[in-house]
Amino acid sequence: MKPKFIVVTGGVLSGLGKGVTTSSIGNLLKAQGYNVTALKMDPYINVDAGTMRPTEHGEVWVTDDGGETDQDLGNYERFIDITLSKKHSITTGQLYLTVIQKERNLEYDGKCVEVIPHIPLEIKRRILDVANTTKADFVLIEVGGTVGDYQSILFLEALRELKREVKDLIFVHVVYLPIPNNLGEMKTKPAQHSIRFLNSTGIQPDYIIARASRTIDKVRREKFSFLCNVEDDAVFAAPDVKNIYEVPLLFERQGLDKKILSHFGLRYKSNNNRVWKSFIHKLSLLKNEVKIGVVGKYFDIGDFTLEDSYVSVIEAIKHASWANNVIPKIQWIDSKQFETNPKSITQLSQYDALIIPGGFGGSGVEGKITAIKYARENNIPLLGLCYGLQLSVVEFARNVCNVKDAHTTEINPNTKNPVVIILPEQKKLLEQKQYGASMRLGSYNAILKKNTKVAQLYKKNEASERHRHRYEVNPDYHQLLEQHGMILSGMSPDGKLVEYIELPNHPYFVGTQAHPEFTSRPLHPNPLFYGLIEAAKKRAKRSSL
């Protein structure tokens, strides 16, 4: 089948849930038996998301092949259950970098190289390349930002041109319909204006997704479709939902998938998506809770960006909890309070499990180390992710191996006992100020030690997870750590890098140099998160006795 393209744009507000819309359409088409892929176009000049602070941009999603991308790729992978590459993230920075490089290489045969047509040409080349390499039946294309932003205009122009060329392309426009308190009525005007803007770029949306706190009513739906020049049944309601994984079913009930298929002349098969339906149904039956604390440095972030910065960790906790038939209650614990008020550490005893997530820099580090010590000594299940593994090693070296000044050189470059050091190749890169896309990135294999908890959870002797780091456990200290009882349960195939650690005689004390949150899917939780929640459940049961 020739690929069909579905473009998703957004109007009125950012943060509307375009990513969830795109992913949900993908979920439904996959359930219809099609090969689906998705890509995201971001208007910023950063070549990738790796150089942006998570507080600025939300989490940096890492692809299998080491791309540092927008977090929406995470939604695509989770909802559609696919694995994407860095090619699925296109930024303005990449486009200009490529076009200027081609110009320098005389690849434009002496022509004057201009924004139009050369930037849209490069955008289309990249989209078609993804279509070709994935051999997808459906290519979903999400345009970042909001229509009307100056910086999105070249993407819209490229998509207008693409429609003329490939024909099989539809536009889905996601809009927000506010219900102002003083009026108590849903207003469509801002959405109408955003559609008028799209029209001015030569694009007519085929379908409209009406995001709002409530369901759009029939009267407004019809008025809206009339004014915006779409068919009567082309406006779909997308009210707020408790759980984003319900959105595919919300669209399915309104026949969005059926409509899209018939648009392309394809037959709709009813009674699909049974697995997803029973998964959503099961969630509504869950009662028991586990309390999970995520220990980090949060006061600098502010409430609104917090969830965005750790979205994959949160989703991985949910997937693993649901598979264990429990509901997770996630709490953010600011590690700095343990530095200013050491007594406050005892509050950690109320949690069924703790996570020390990835991070960079010194803020709140001593507090995290204190939290790790408390979890180790008080048998609280703990999972350390990347920085979480490194700080667990620092804690163990200091308090079990009795190396009091043990530290990571990321924080104390002059420590006499550098138990965590920079990877040798990373040192050179940093000296040359090569910061972009230069960490140890993407999937790496680890060989797991037999009979360890980690090997048991992965159910094999090898594991592959995605990475994003510059530091590693210092090989000079491997023996010392092992002599004192730490199990280095997974190593890089050459035996040099510690990929997993664990402690025996503890309900669950596991650390990984990787970011296992990136491979967690709603129906296939990541094994390490699964193990953590399994242990949390046991602890919750014990404390409720």
Does position 469 interact with ligand GLN (CB under 6 A)? The reply is yes
Q: State the virtual CA torsion across 420, 424, 425, 428 in degrees, nearest 10.
A: 100
Q: Answer yes or no whether residue 61 interacts with ligand GLN by CB under 6 A.
A: no
Does the protein bind ligand GLN through residue 50 (CB under 6 A)?
no
| Smallest separation (angstroms) from ligand GLN to the CB of 13 | 31
From the list 387, 508, 529, 530, which residue makes contact with ligand GLN (rule: CB under 6 A)?
387
Q: Does 216 bind ligand GLN (CB under 6 A)?
A: no
Q: Which stretch binds ligand GLN (CB under 6 A): 86-94, 244-252, 429-437, 466-474?
A: 466-474
| Nearest distance, CB of residue 208 and ligand GLN, angstroms | 39
Widest pairwise Cα distance in the chain: 79
Site for ligand GLN contains 506 (CB under 6 A): no
Q: How many residues bind ligand GLN (CB under 6 A)?
A: 10
Could you say which of 386, 469, 499, 506 is catalytic?
Answer: 386
Dist CA 19 CA 22 (whole Å): 5
- 386 belongs to the catalytic site: yes
Q: Are strands 498-502 and 487-491 parallel, antiparallel or unpaired?
A: antiparallel
- Does residue 386 belong to the site contacting ligand GLN (CB under 6 A)? yes
Give the other-Cβ count within 10 Å of 492's Cβ.
15
Q: Which of 173, 319, 407, 515 is catalytic?
A: 515
Q: Residue 490 in 3-state DSSP?
A: strand
- Judge contact between 487 and 389, C-beta under 8 A: no
Structure-token match 């070549």, residue found: 47
Only segment of 61-69, 281-289, 303-311, 465-473 that touches ligand GLN (CB under 6 A)? 465-473
If one asks whether residue 407 binds ligand GLN (CB under 6 A), the answer comes out as no
Stretches 68-76, 132-140, 323-331, 464-472: which one binds ligand GLN (CB under 6 A)? 464-472
In the complex, what is the shortest distance from the CB of residue 512 to ligand GLN, in angstroms, rounded to a whole number?
10
CB-based contacts of 173, cutoff 8 Å, min separation 6: 8, 9, 10, 11, 147, 194, 195, 198, 205, 207, 208, 209
Q: Answer yes or no: are the C-beta atoms of 535 and 508 closer than 8 Å.
A: yes
Q: What are phi and psi of 233, to 5 degrees?
A: -100, 30
DSSP state for residue 477 in the 8-state scheme = G
Of the pair 396, 471, the CB lying nearest ligand GLN is at 471
Residue 319 interacts with ligand GLN (CB under 6 A): yes or no: no
Instruction: List beta partners, residue 109.
Output: none
CA 477 distance to own-chain centroid: 33
For residue 147, the 8-state DSSP code is B
- Give the residue with the Cβ less far from ligand GLN, 375 or 386: 386
Which range binds ligand GLN by CB under 6 A, 30-38, 47-55, 97-105, 357-365? 357-365
Helices (H) and strands (E) in the chain, counts: 20, 21
**Residue 466 near ligand GLN by CB under 6 A:** no
Catalog residues that contact ligand GLN under the rule CB under 6 A: 358-360, 386-387, 410, 468-471
Positions annotated as catalytic residues are: 386, 515, 517
